[in-house]
Structure 1
Amino acid sequence: MTWKIELIFIPVTDVDRAKAFYTHIGFVADFDQRVNEELRFVQLTPPGSACSIAFGTGLDSAVAPGTLDVIQVVVPDADAELLRLRELGVDADGVDEQEWGRFVRFADPDGNSWTLQQLPARA
């Protein structure tokens, strides 16, 4: 059996602001479709990822904007990503060193939290 997570919904209050933020930090804008006056669907993909994020208007969500804090992304170099995010004006936490990896945390304009993890070297 093969399972692939392809899409994660992110609750946001302002679709255009969220799209601008994510494209500013390097996500590719794959799709932006206004189906009708009540429904708009935006999909973006982080660089090198097989999984995309989506948000929009008229999409039901059990999670309030700004409360999502469960997304973790593996990156090759936590220091480089921290530097890149800060150069882009993103308020990212410094590298948190743990035995199980090195972590950088930041939030989108709504307060949804992201964690970037550099995996530890394998023995």
Structure 2
Amino acid sequence: MNWTLEVVVVPVTDLDRAKEFYADRLGFTVDHDTRFGADVRIIQLTPPGSGCSVVIGKGAVPEMPPGSLKGLQLVVPDIRKAHAELVERGVECTEVQTLGQNPNPVPDPLDNVGFVFFSDPDGNGWAVQQISSRA
């Protein structure tokens, strides 16, 4: 039996600001932006190529302090290219960092150990890791 992670709820203060960040800055696809009356709004966004979406909203999502989610992680095949794209889109992020030691540094010494970090406007923390192939 396969178990797939499909949705992660990300707590934010301003839905429109968060939607702009995730859609326009990070390039996530807006799957839907649904309102149920004046008090309930759900926005689902999916990173390109991902089977898992993020949901931001009010009224129908678990209550968590905005900015309290840390350790969200995206995986890309080329961390240098991902870093350049983030910078080009105006996302404040770290330089490419190496964390740990790559036991198999050929063909790319950053594979598995290359990271970039950023936060959304509320302070939810994200990591981007380079993994070009899996064992």
Q: List alignment gaps of at least 5 residues for structure 2.
A: 102-111
Q: Once the 2 structures are TM-superposed, how far is the Cα of residue 63 of structure 1 from its aligned partner? A: 2.7
Q: For 1:111-122, what aligned pairs fall within 5 Å after superposition?
A: 111-119=123-131
Equivalent in the alignment of 2:108: none
The structure 1 segments of at least 4 consecutive aligned residues displaced by more than 3 Å after TM superposition are 120-123
Q: Output the amino acid matched with 2:114.
A: R
Bigger Rg over Cα: 2
Alignment length, in residue pairs? Answer: 123
Give SS of 1:82's match: helix
Q: List alignment gaps of at least 5 residues for structure 1.
A: none
Q: Output the amino acid matched with 1:83.
A: A
Q: Does 1:97 find its partner at 2:98?
A: yes
Contact 2:42–2:56 (CA<8 Å) still a contact in 1? yes
CA RMSD of aligned residues (A): 1.7
Q: For 1:34-73, what aligned pairs fall within 5 Å after superposition?
A: 34-73=35-74
- Counterpart-to-counterpart distance in 1, 2:134 and 2:73: 19
Q: Does 1:4 find its partner at 2:4?
A: yes
Q: Output the amino acid matched with 2:7.
A: L
Give SS of 1:110's match: coil
Q: Once the 2 structures are TM-superposed, how far is the Cα of residue 77 of structure 1 from its aligned partner? A: 0.8
- Counterpart-to-counterpart distance in 1, 2:73 and 2:91: 17
Q: Output the amino acid matched with 2:35.
A: R
Give SS of 2:94's match: coil
**TM-score, normalization: structure 1?**
0.92
Percentage of identical aligned residues: 46
Give SS of 1:81's match: helix
Q: Does 1:23 find its partner at 2:23?
A: yes
Richer in strand (by share) = 1
After superposition, the C-alpha distances for 1:35-89 in whole angstroms (9 at most, x for unaligned) are 1111100000000000000011113435310121121111111111111101111
